[in-house]
Structure 1
Amino acid sequence: MNQPYVIGVDTSVSALLEADHLLQTLEAELALPEGSFGCTHLVRGDRPRVALSFAVPSEAALSTVREWLTVKGYEVSAEAPDAVGRAVLYPGVSELTGTVTVAELLARSAIDRVTVLGTSGSPSPDQSLVTRDHVRPAWRDGELVLAAMPAAGGTLVPFEVPDPTPCCADH
């Protein structure tokens, strides 16, 4: 994350969808200031889970977030678990509904770049992207990057689907 005011939050959450909901709940309760980010981070090892991070635009906001989370019983650290968080909350996310062009997506949100799986280079600015109201870019080398894939009718869709089928759902 590019912002200097970052906090990590350990959780017992094990699924991304559950972590998304927790981030959105915490955002509402914290009343995060404009320009804030909320990300998920996969933690492996002896206790696999999804950790969270918040990046806020000021030291005062960071202090408030840290204090509130600590009072609520969350284990808080002074940094994000890693540099490759998956952004759930970010400036402009609420503007990314329905179908937008790549240019609109980049202009309306904090997303810096769009990549298309299986291709080199960037998609055309006028390429349509069907958001499915679920746009989850990830931090890569200090940029917020959305991975997309080709879809029907020459459109793109975000690589991450809003309602993934759990592994082994048909067993």
Structure 2
Amino acid sequence: MQLNSTRLFLRPVAPTDVQRLFAIYGDPETNTFNPAGPFPDLAFAQEVLNRWLAHWQSFPFGNWAICLREQSDQVLGFGGLSVREFAGKPVNNLGYRLAKEVWGKGYATEFARTVIAYGFDECQLPVIDAAVRQDHLASQQVLEKAGLRCYGQVYDIPGAPASLVYELRAQTWRDQGTPK
């Protein structure tokens, strides 16, 4: 499912994305707040990409390549909705990672709002969650601008401090209208 926003073009990930996936997720700077650290090699990136591709086979949502509408062949990052477990409970998890050269331009917020609208309007998801490191203030701001609110913590990475858990319920999103 391809999606468009004001500035972004989102397309489901493709097998040809492995090099760009490794370039972004293998960059130590994009992993500053990730206790697991950067992807170690291209083979690991391929394993992750294979899981993302398989997710699309089971659900009407997954991970997208985030591109500019005017330059749809240039991948700025990756993100999406995926079914994950937080504290033994399945959730519809919102996640994203952008290349460092496009940070601070509002793309993450625009991406999050677009994917949330798709999740609620097209997929009829009842709630969307996101986990974020406690010291990752920029990502917390993205989630809050997109309408999510912090409701607790989860120990999602063994040996690491708890992550903050954010959520947005479909009914709340509809009642408040799309955040601007």
TM-score by length of 2: 0.27
Q: Which has the higher helix share?
A: 2
Larger radius of gyration: 1
